[in-house]
Amino acid sequence: MRSHQITKGIERAPHRSLLKAIGYTDEELSRPLIGIAQSANEVIPGHIHLDRITQAVKDGVRMAGGTPMEFSTIGICDGIAMGHQGMKYSLASRELIADSVESMARAYPFDGLVLIPNCDKIVPGMIMAAARLDLPTIVVSGGPMRTGICNGAEIDLITVFEGMGKVQIGELDEAGLRELENSACPGAGSCSGMFTANSMNCLTEALGIALPGNGTTLAVDAARIRLAKASGRALMKLVEKNITFRQLLTREAFMNALAVDMAFGGSTNTSLHLPAIAHEAGRPLTLDDFHGASRKTPHICNMSPGGPHHLADLHEAGGVYAIMKQLYEKGLLDGGCLTATSLSLAENLADPGIQVRNPEVIRPLDNPYHATGGLAVLKGNLAPDGAVVKQSAVAPEMLVHQGPARVFEAEEEAFAAIIGRRINPGEVIVIRYEGPQGGPGMREMLSPTAALAGIGLDREVALLTDGRFSGGTRGAAIGHISPEASAGGLLGLVREGDLISIDIPAQKLELLVDESEIAKRRQQWQKPEPRIKEGYLHRYARLVGSAAGGAVLT
């Protein structure tokens, strides 16, 4: 066992002495030592209950003969960081989390790992570390939040963001907004739509690195505690069989995850996180892979923000494994992939209890909501390396659009123009210098997109950026434009009034300006001064790669 490096032999007496100072006994130190990486805190609603999940995981590990050793990581809530400088730190925190988990597991030679994240960048950050470490590892998320109810209608956090816009145009008063505010997020868990956190938690099932139900079992259900205990026990079986993380994270597992992502209409941010995880696992994944998966996988779940259903609905309808069973039966998944159950995906799917219980929430493949996947990758002179849009959340009338550019150098400028009613129907908002390097940190921009929806312009106005959008964004919001403006991308040369052509079905994104004019502008272009000149983000901006490759540090 790896842990013998600190527990066996006379030369390890000092190490055992320090461990005994913590309270560990000789018997405990003779067992496999299991690192429990958890991110419980009092600043993220999705993490407020992770102490209970952690305890249940530790119980499961002990029941199966292991010794759990708990440590923590940082965590940032994207919703709370949204719309101010804090959002610059969200994506960048993913790398800090990955580095911290890696550091702990190298300093303490654990025999296995359990990862207990729940929200936003904490999930991929922990998984990236585990891919580097290649130990027996399992993921246990905290689970999604219950759906909010206000005046008899189901709502979620996005309803509140869009409510801000409705107040601006007089469709909602401040008292009504306060009602939404008090009802949308009823308690612990990741926000209830198919936003980034829930997309990634559901994809842990598709990747085979978590037990069935990990993505959809509600945070407040006792079933979540039972799942945590079962996960601790399952991890010990992985340790016993020496099934390491990269044995699960195969190329075929990533392609399975892409198919599931397209089927349930996941967040555009999966196009950042899955390639970053694949990079750490040594299994290159590109935007072209997303494009290929989208072309052949029907979109069969209409989840918030694009549709009416929430994670509770998906869970009751059969969950991720019910989606996977349909895809597998049509030859769209590889059943030979090994999973965290120590069995193959095909063996897991043979369980007769896995079935679709609501064919409206999980439609059959021959009656999809859309014939192609929830995400689309666009290319053209504006995005030669790719751009990403959640096409399942775009109104039909905006799938093909051409309009004049309205150019803004930062999110705040665009948001002020939207709220100030200075944006006209038909225009294309361009927000640039918000990429991984230029932002720095590639801010998530739910505030401007929600404001557009709130004032009713999401069916008439498109928004382009080298930044990114929340998984809760709806409308013709095209992000991740690569190369970014700060790296010399064409987005930095767009001028007010330039015509921009968007054709989502044809995967095209073009600036309609003559090549000679573009060449003249390129000669005049100067890279702007860094917006942040000290601290972590200054270092991050110098090291971060393109969004098209997952924005990993080089």
Tokens 């309205």 identify what position? 406
What is the identity of the amino acid at 434?
A: E
Q: d(Cα 550, Cα 554) in Å, to the nearest integer?
A: 11
Give per-residue pLDDT as tens, 301-351.
Answer: 999 998 999 999 999 999 999 999 999 999 999 999 999 999 999 999 999
Contact 20, 54 (CB under 8 A): no
pLDDT at position 471: 77
pLDDT at position 318: 98
What is the average pLDDT value for the chain, to the nearest integer? 96
E strand or H helix that includes residue 37:
strand 33-38
Give 75's DSSP letter: -
pLDDT tops 80 at residue 166: yes
361-375, 413-427, 464-478: least confidently modelled range: 464-478
Q: d(Cα 498, Cα 486) in Å, to the nearest integer?
A: 19
In order, the DSSP letters of 531-544 are S--SHHHHHHHHHB
Backbone phi and psi for residue 155, each to the nearest 5 degrees, phi listed first: -135, 170
pTM above 0.75, yes or no: yes
pLDDT at position 347: 98
pLDDT tops 80 at residue 461: yes
Average pLDDT, stretch 66-92? 95
Secondary structure of 480-517 in the HEC alphabet? EEECCHHHCCHHHHCCCCCEEEEECCCCEEEECCCHHH
Average pLDDT, stretch 165-183? 93
pLDDT at position 526: 93
Q: d(Cα 16, Cα 3) in Å, to the nearest integer?
A: 11
Q: d(Cα 470, Cα 337) in Å, to the nearest integer?
A: 31
pLDDT at position 473: 82
pLDDT at position 469: 87
Residue 267: name the closest of 453, 490, 91 by CA.
91
Contact 417, 408 (CB under 8 A): yes
pLDDT tops 90 at residue 83: no
pLDDT at position 474: 83
Q: How confident is the model at residue 453 (pLDDT cuts 50, 70, 90)?
A: confident
Q: Which residues are the active-site residues? A: 470
Q: d(Cα 518, Cα 506) in Å, to the nearest integer?
A: 24
Secondary structure of 138-156 in the HEC alphabet? EECCCCECCCEEECCEEEC
Tokens 């190369």 identify what position? 483
pLDDT tops 90 at residue 51: yes
Give per-residue pLDDT as tens, 1-41.
Answer: 999 999 999 999 999 999 999 999 999 999 999 999 999 99
Q: d(Cα 140, Cα 204) in Å, to the nearest integer?
A: 9
Q: d(Cα 264, Cα 58) in Å, to the nearest integer?
A: 32
pLDDT tops 80 at residue 437: yes
pLDDT at position 164: 86
Residue 493: name the closest of 516, 470, 476, 472 by CA.
516
Q: d(Cα 369, Cα 373) in Å, to the nearest integer?
A: 10
Backbone phi and psi for residue 546, each to the nearest 5 degrees, phi listed first: -65, 150
Q: d(Cα 318, Cα 325) in Å, to the nearest integer?
A: 10
Q: d(Cα 265, Cα 474) in Å, to the nearest integer?
A: 12
